[in-house]
Structure 1
Amino acid sequence: MSISLTPQAAARARQFLSDQPGAQGLRFGVKRTGCSGWGYEVDVAHSISPEDSVFEADGVSVVVDAQSLPLVDGTRIDFVRQGLNQVFVFENPNAQAACGCGESFTTEADAVPG
């Protein structure tokens, strides 16, 4: 089980977390949303529960809840600048398909038998 950050993503996360009093790390997970089923969530982890998994990546604690972990295990998080936009990009080996807008994804477990 692992979550990794590129150096650019780690630098952005450290910068973001330094402005958050009491931050325990970066919370990474998924929720049901979008046209494909799952959407990524990235936020500040203000607490860590016993059910959470914590991954250390380049000086950043990445906290993942137990329900999200099977869907994001192995994900590599990058941070890219595209013109005036800055965004986290997720390379998730569990994502089998993504919607056209790139906001959500499906997994093999979500596939409906044809």
Structure 2
Amino acid sequence: MISNDVVTMTEAAVSRVKDIVKNSQGTAQGIRISLKKGGCAGLEYMVDLVTEPFNDDDLVEKDGVKVWIDPSALFYILGMEIDFKIEKLHSGFIFHNPNQVSACGCGQSVEIKRADLEQYYNEKHSKEM
């Protein structure tokens, strides 16, 4: 398991994942976050139901919710907050990613730079002081 501050979740996201797991008839353990190539900006966030986690995935837990992270995505989503929004015409997970450079107009694909580990470390430790 990795540190819970590598990727954080709002209460709305935690609640939604709990609902998804509950409605899966007991087959799901949580969700998996990954990235795939696609869209006009280059990458798309993927959220999949996890019934059997991959051995090399990293695990983040909050309030009983399990989120597995594809290791190839980890350095691109380091510091990201996962939220869940319900709006009049759309509902879904929202990703507040400090490594995101841009997004396409439709909001489905993003350009993400690899996280600066030194900067991330310094920011985390300056908040602790």
TM-score by length of 1: 0.87
Root-mean-square deviation (CA), in Å?
1.4
Deviation digits for residues 52-96 of structure 1 (CA, Å, limit 9, x no counterpart): 100012321100111111121211111111114222111011111
* Alignment of 1:103 onto 2:119: no
2:68 paired residue among 59, 63, 67: 63
2:21 paired residue among 17, 24, 36: 17
CA contact (8 A) 2:76 2:113 kept: no
Residue segments in structure 1 that go unaligned for 5+ positions in a row = 110-114
Alignment correspondent of 1:42? 47
Query: Is the helix fraction higher in 1 or 2?
Result: 2
Higher relative contact order (CA 8 A, sep 6+): 1
CA contact (8 A) 1:29 1:72 kept: no
Identity of aligned residues (%): 35
TM-score by length of 2: 0.78
User: How many residue pairs end up in the alignment?
Assistant: 109
Query: Is the strand fraction higher in 1 or 2?
Result: 1
Moved over 4 A (4+): none
